[in-house]
Structure 1
Amino acid sequence: MNAEAGFEDGAPVLTVPHYHWGSCMVCHTPATPSQPLKRCSRCHSMFYCSAAHQKAHWKQHKRLCSYLSSAADAVGSELFFAAGEATDTEDDPKRNWSTFKLNAAMMADIILGDLEVWEKEMFLFPRACRVYFKKTKMVEMTALPPTEQIRMRFLTDRLSGPMTLLYGMEKTSVRGGKTLPDVEELTIHIVGSNVVEMVGIIRWEYVLHQVPKCSRLHVIFIGPELAPEEPEGIIEELGACAECQDMGREMNYEIRRSLYKDYCESHDYTLPDLVAVFNCGFHENESNPGQETWKDSLPFLIQHCSVPLIFTSYCQSEAAKDLESMQKTGKNFDTVLCKEINPFQSYRPFRDHECDMNRDVFYTNQYLSIIKAS
């Protein structure tokens, strides 16, 4: 494991390709008035900064290009997405547009096989008018230059998790009734962990740096989606920074690749001082039992009376549903914070094709709730 992935000076931050119609699919150079992007002449949905990049990407784009252009030809349209344009008589054009995009992506996935992330995004985030979702006679927005503020937004995405934990511990005590200034040792369960929590793993040591009396921090990542190549147990090659080591402070990271219920019932279980679930999605698959993975584990999140559960949600509507999922467990709990705006949310925007509360971007850890078993 690269402990400092994404933190080395000058090192690229590796991520999966994404589709943004306002930038070249290959190099992500944005369009400008003097240098507009080239549009694929067949499907009219992919954009490039040059003919060379269009040619270089043709192998990846070919199957979806043929699919989009053939589907458009079949209905006598130049653009595949013209079928989703709103009319003046529609009662809920935004919902209809969202449904059209989602169904189109699902159909393509069935016909073509598993789509890549960027291919799905071609369906979910096409170039279209914000009001009537039309594709012609568009008014271009002025491109904004990169700024320090934009770079800082990316950093908030990295530090949102640790800062949310610290903020939560300011709002409530941890196991044994200890408050943040008095904590000498701290064990944190980060439940539902996946690659998001593991990238730049050393960021979690920031919690240790901000709790002066704490001599030992033990962070346990628990979740079935953790990378299989990482061995379970303590990550031996990772520890505290040199400064903390000189002060006799200890930093331990541990991986447990399982559902939280199974972990709590195993011999590997370590009693936590605090339990956290980031962007929890407790409610997401309640109506789909075949994909539901949270239901049996939810009661275990609040099984100890003095151990708080901190959980975050992407948006307000999800926060309400996530809290309702905890209420359905039948466990009694006290609410410390109830679906409040998190002052330490990430400020890196992510696109949302469903437009919750008329917003088409969301932020990780945006809404925060804290509960304790009573």
Structure 2
Amino acid sequence: MGSPLTMLLGPILINFLNTIDIWVWTKKYHLRRSLRGKKMECAGKGTTRRCLAPPTRRCARCQAVAYCSLSHQIAHWSVHKEECERLEEQMKHADELNDFPFIFAGEATVEVLEKRETRCLFLENRGLHRVKMWMCECQCGILAASNISSLMEGWCLASVLCPCREPQSPLQKQLDTWEDYYEWRSIPLHSPVAILLHWPLTLYWAAQLTLARSLNLEVIAELNIHYLGPDKELSQLDVFSELHALFPAIRVRLELVGPAVPEYRNGERIELYKYAHCNEIDCVCKSSEKNFSSGPSSVGVEIRLHAGYYHDRYKDLAKDSVPHLIVAPNAGIAAYTSWSPTIDLIKELNVPAVFTDYCEEASHLAASCLSTRTGRPLSVPIQLNPFRQPLVVEHSGLLLPCYSNCFLFGI
């Protein structure tokens, strides 16, 4: 423990150094890294001596960060004071973040957040733990799937619980909530399919926010979406077949571009002309015929994989796929400097681009980076995504509820 004078002057000196924004980049890195599945860490880790206990001491004001000791909390105050009030406001909306219409909502949100439940147990209770497309939805599944390269097909659910065939009726109005979607697709609210369907539904919502004003989605024949930074989606590609139901009579082309795409899959092309299968042997979804019944034979969902960064691959992509929309799910813009040339490219292209992140704080940091880099305000302000994944992230860097594709914003 230092002297009283050291304790007084230390924060002042640290605050002076922070005028060059060192604290911002440190916070950005640790926030993004922890949201990738790391265990909760002391917010003051690295500020003084190493942590000797679990981070159980919460900030009394915001309740969003935790420390291993009083000394680490004091040492970290010069950093945390810049965000404390903002986090306090965000914590007031925790109930809204956890608000889902599903029968399993409490089990998948508060129970996991308060460590009375785990993602593994949630999936295990439904016979989905480490199974096909569900494999990567828990930490142990991610590790088990690290060497799996094949496309992982099928819902592993009864037909009544999943969208394995054409909708019973065409989409008559814009979908605004998960409840709207489940009702339209005649799926009961105890079905967990939203845990995977948040990928295509987030694309649908991004298109409604950005393209509805400039592009008539009812008359165009093709929709090109450049999808940046795919990760575990690479083992869940079958869920994107639902884009056909969401954009009927349109050929949707998804260009998945990112460093997580393995080199041996670079250039791989996947045609989705059937919905992901249920587990019933005699269901119509098992027919050898294409089960996209409406529209011309060319209508479907085409996915192509591209290894590398978007700014390096764009010239090749643009030869036959100029984007109508760019989407970057769970982008972590504030965490990686590699985003800078991509943001410059998007600004030059002048194409609508929507980004998502796990929580409002991560989105706030990302929005600041975007505005600084582009010199423009956001065209789509930070907002809660109605189609965020309804299974809370375990061991997030904050004590805020965090969800995949939780908040979105755009330029």
In the superposition, the TM-score normalised over structure 1's length comes to 0.54
Alignment of 1:1-374 (within 5 A): 83-84=53-54, 95-97=66-68, 146=125, 152-153=191-192, 155-173=193-211, 177-194=214-231, 196-214=232-250, 216-235=251-270, 238-241=271-274, 242-244=290-292, 247=295, 248=297, 249-266=299-316, 269=319, 270-285=321-336, 292-305=337-350, 307-332=351-376, 335-336=379-380, 338-355=381-398, 358-359=399-400, 361-371=401-411
1:233 Cα deviation after fit: 4.4
CA contact (8 A) 1:160 1:344 kept: yes
CA contact (8 A) 2:57 2:66 kept: no
Report Cα offsets for 1:189-232 as digits up to 9, x if no partner: 101122x1212212112112222331x21111000111233242
Unaligned runs of 5+ in 2: 1-36, 40-50, 73-114, 127-160, 162-187, 275-289
Which whole-Å CA distance do the structure 2 matches of 1:267 and 1:224 have between them?
15
Unaligned runs of 5+ in 1: 1-17, 21-80, 101-139, 286-291
Q: Secondary structure at the residue paired with 2:394?
A: strand
Q: Secondary structure at the residue paired with 2:254?
A: strand
CA contact (8 A) 1:190 1:219 kept: yes
Q: Secondary structure at the residue paired with 1:181?
A: coil
Which whole-Å CA distance do the structure 2 matches of 1:262 and 1:89 have between them?
43
Q: Secondary structure at the residue paired with 1:265?
A: helix
1:325 Cα deviation after fit: 1.4
1:49 aligns to what?
none
1:263 Cα deviation after fit: 1.0
Q: Secondary structure at the residue paired with 1:318?
A: helix
Q: Secondary structure at the residue paired with 1:217?
A: strand
1:87 Cα deviation after fit: 7.9
CA contact (8 A) 2:255 2:303 kept: yes
Which whole-Å CA distance do the structure 2 matches of 1:159 and 1:225 have between them?
21
CA contact (8 A) 1:184 1:213 kept: yes
CA contact (8 A) 1:160 1:345 kept: yes
1:296 Cα deviation after fit: 1.4
> For the structure 1 residues 89 and 309, does the alpha-carbon distance in structure 2 shift closer, same or farther, using more than 3 Å as the test?
closer
Which whole-Å CA distance do the structure 1 matches of 2:59 and 2:323 have between them?
56
1:85 Cα deviation after fit: 7.1
User: Amino acid of the residue matched to residue 302 of structure 2?
Assistant: N
Q: Secondary structure at the residue paired with 2:253?
A: strand
CA contact (8 A) 1:172 1:179 kept: no
User: Amino acid of the residue matched to residue 366 of structure 2?
Assistant: D
Which whole-Å CA distance do the structure 2 matches of 1:280 and 1:142 have between them?
27
Which whole-Å CA distance do the structure 1 matches of 2:207 and 2:214 have between them?
11
Which whole-Å CA distance do the structure 1 matches of 2:224 and 2:58 have between them?
57
User: Amino acid of the residue matched to residue 204 of structure 1?
Assistant: F
Which whole-Å CA distance do the structure 1 matches of 2:358 and 2:59 have between them?
32
1:349 Cα deviation after fit: 1.4
RMSD over aligned Cα atoms: 3.9
Greater mean deviation of Cα atoms: 218-227 or 177-186: 177-186
User: Amino acid of the residue matched to residue 291 of structure 2?
Assistant: E
CA contact (8 A) 1:352 1:362 kept: no
Give the length in aligned residue pairs. Answer: 238
Q: Secondary structure at the residue paired with 1:253?
A: strand
Report Cα offsets for 1:39-64 as digits up to 9, x if no partner: xxxxxxxxxxxxxxxxxxxxxxxxxx
Structure number with higher helix proportion: 2
CA contact (8 A) 1:156 1:348 kept: no
Q: RCO greater where, 1 or 2, for CA within 8 Å and sep 6 or more?
A: 2
In the superposition, the TM-score normalised over structure 2's length comes to 0.50
1:295 Cα deviation after fit: 1.4
Q: Secondary structure at the residue paired with 1:321?
A: helix
Q: Secondary structure at the residue paired with 1:229?
A: helix
User: Amino acid of the residue matched to residue 97 of structure 1?
Assistant: C
Which whole-Å CA distance do the structure 2 matches of 1:19 and 1:262 have between them?
30
1:171 Cα deviation after fit: 2.1
Q: Secondary structure at the residue paired with 2:316?
A: coil
Q: Secondary structure at the residue paired with 1:186?
A: strand
User: Amino acid of the residue matched to residue 213 of structure 1?
Assistant: A
> For the structure 1 residues 332 and 83, does the alpha-carbon distance in structure 2 shift closer, same or farther, using more than 3 Å as the test?
closer
2:42 aligns to what?
none
1:92 Cα deviation after fit: 10
